[in-house]
Structure 1
Amino acid sequence: MSGRDGAARVLAVWCMDWPAAAAAAAADLPATTPVAVTCTNRVIACSAAARAAGVRRGLRRREAQARCPAAHVAVADAGRDARFFEAVLTAVEDLIPRAEVLRPGLLVAAAAGPARYFGSESLAAERLADAVAAAGAECQIGLAGQLATAVLAARAGVAVEPGRDAAFLSELSIRELATEPGLSGPGRADLVDLLWRMGIRRFGQFAALGRAEVATRFGADAVIAHRMACAEPMRPPAGREPPAELAVELRCDPPIDRVDAAAFAGRSLAATLHRGLESAGVGCTRLAIHAVTDTGSELVRVWRCAEPLTAEATADRVRWQLDGWLNRRGADRLDGPVTTLRLEPVEVITAAALQLPLWGGAGDADRQRARRALVRVQGLLGPEAVQIPVRCGGRGPADQVALTPLGDEPVIRFDPDQPWPGRLPEPAPAVLLDDPVELLDGDGAAVHVTGRGLFSSTPARLSGRYAGPLAWWAGPWPVDERWWDPQAASPGRTARAQVLLDGDPGVALLLCYRRKRWYLEGGYE
């Protein structure tokens, strides 16, 4: 199938390894420093200097540090990426107004205006590259007839000739379908793996498949990927003008001058916006964020997404943008507290485009409704009111779970896949507790754990919340954590024991001995 290039050309600016560049900027390191950014203890981005030393995406943090001991390792932080990308956006908008952000590190704009102003597309690309370099970043420019093609052309640093989008894409590896988060939906990596195993290695091979075959065999996201491979227009450069009542506005009283307050206000405003979108039966794919200060000045930024924004995704973008405006130094920053915050859906799509897939749609809808309800609770009570568990590494049951506010990037303190000698064996307690108790022997004397890791006497009874004689016990299992670090928050030497209270049915409990006292750590069900 041949591509159908529209008359309007698209220009894409791609800042390579942006998470690593933002991490280096946050640590005030020179651009030549090897940097690796990790998520769940695996490298997700690295600088050119780190790659030269052998660091690659997908490596474990420990292996990356072994290959390049001088590398600066930072944890992934979407807010940091957006905050430092604001300087690049300002530099680009000085030359091209109304550039759209696909994600921090990648933006797109219509090429016709810059080409007319600077004389040609190539001259416009050169000026943009110089402006981004002056802002302290490196970039590659791509030009093509379609947005998706322009983004892939930017990753290759080329300008696709008019009418040649399909020819350019046909020779690309099929794995390029999943390399750019701004263009792919959930499950795209699985689709690419399946196509690769089927022997479809190039865009051209995928484009040669019939649309009906793709839709019936692979699903809705595969149809979007197929249209992208065929270089078909997937979205016009400017969406239809949405009804005015869809825009929402918040008068900030008192005015907002802190990022945490801005994030809270943005989350509440995002929930209000999406209630209006749902009532109108539309979804937002381009969102304009307006902030007006107490001096009367106004800043506007347009964010663009491959898929319709959820309330959570909208709140994240508001938080990132306000963080960048509040903390950035220079002319393009807020010159005072925010008095008015406005969200305007610049581009919307109809409910037909939001139809759920045939398989699993009801479950997805239920999850979305539950998530919207939880976001509403956060809007009323604050971000910390709704938290989700994240699996972490540790020896005790409480150490293996960390709570993260819904919508925030999960922070994993320790890798759960490490060996963790001394970890409590399975099964884990069903309920976590933290109540002080007394473990007694047959004479009523307190039972302690000696320096040799043994009971001082034979346990016979438990007093406290769960009082009663013991039918069975096991342990103790001593653990001495971080004994070399006197400043560590760990309690140091601990021991655990499992007990079963006599009764029908008996109650199984996990006890923890720390700081010379016994505590109920969990209950088994």
Structure 2
Amino acid sequence: MDALAPLRMHVLWFPDWPLRAALGAAPPHPPTALVHGNVITACTDSARAHGVRVGQRRRLAQGRLPALRMLPHDTAQDERAFRPVLRLIEAHAPGVHLLRPGLAALRSRGISRYHGSEEQAAAALRQILGEAGYPEVRIGVADGAFTAELAARGSGDEGWAVIPPGDAESFLAPLPLEVLGEPELAELLRRLGVGTLGGFAALDALSVRERFGEQGARLHALARGADSRPLTPRAPDPQLSRRVEFETPLGQSDQIAFAVRQTADAVMLALADASLVCTEVRIDLTDDDGAVTSRTWLHPTCFDAPDLVDRVRWQLESLAPPASDSGQDSDAAHAFRGIVGVRIAPVAVDDAAHHQPGLFGSGTDERLHHAVSRVQTMLGHAGVTTASVSGGRMLADRQLLTPWGERPVVERDPGRPWPGNLPDPLPAEVFTPMRPVHVTGAGGAVISVDARGALSCPPALVDDSEVIGWAGPWPVHEHRWDAARARSGERFQLLDRQHRAWLVFHSGGSWWAEGRYR
């Protein structure tokens, strides 16, 4: 099993939700199908009884049932209709997560403790939803959302099913491969003689990863009941967003930041009324030409009103042209095209109970966050950064600096093989950009490296300091197909008389210091 054990989850499934959203009533429904691009995307039980199936062409479905009622499928309507259901669930079980319209999940621990057991919690949720007009809901409880969803789909007359802890793999074993939602993989495995999740789970995990890649490894983990994927926060209600319009276009960041303070307070009040906090926000700036500039901001914990104002200011300052050397003041430097509107829209929210202070006040991490955020407010968005490890061959490529509060976006996976990269231990000091140094042989001889890696003479001096030890060369060749990014040369490690260890790079007859060991 995976090192991270799956969480116990309650998954609530509303069968044929797109039809419920389109028809506005609980089943049973008359023979009806939803169509998108002349293909059936959903159909009622009464339509399925006449041979209508999801994925059929419109003409074929009409041939099976000429009286079939067909409606266009509006996915936005599915989401709008499901929001009241989410609010209803959250009123009795905070922390609900939207998986997709008609399917929601929540962690079992809290609600099970409140009702006494997982079974009683499922029965209580089903009763609440049934009384609210959703008697068709099915509930599954299991290790991980994947297994819990399948348990909900297979629930019997009671409308809920509980898979005991640790029994996910045995429950999944007899199910067909099609439940993974990967028809191509299912067809390939069937040709190999594997037809069930149990057969797939019995395959060696390393072999599956080598043959099918990361996606295949994830599906293999699901088949073994090892669903440890974290749940993503549910999409916030659009009513949480707030907008302010200016009668006269404003052209300075301080003016606009002052004007949006009440708007930021209104966003926080709307979140508080819903017992939510915002962890990700989008800010839209509209100028006097009607152009909209949008940016999404993240927060390591959750936003408060001053944080939102700071993000507005930083986004405005990023639009300002760079200050010239003519000595203009900071207000002029932060001038830009007139802004006539600002919209603050929460993108990701979380239950406020998860962010309440401790019994004895804020902890060390929270005090650190407030201190660093205050420094960032004084220095600007990029004034305080956190370091992450990225993939690459050169030291400068392997360090990723992200502004405080932003989620690091690692474009180059450090876990992938990088032929030619430097093994541990790495230099403690990295020069960005690399510094030019002077490396010569005895008597000032020029050092060259031939195609076989042989040196014309050993290094003797580095910046007029005697070299008492050296290692290398290690060739580095990358991006040969791209003339603008191509790089080719050799690395050396040099130890001088002062016992300073250097990592140097030789390319095109020049020498550069890439880093220094402490």
TM-score (normalizing by structure 1): 0.46
TM-score (normalizing by structure 2): 0.46
Structure index of larger Rg = 2
Greater relative contact order (CA < 8 Å, ≥ 6 in sequence) = 1
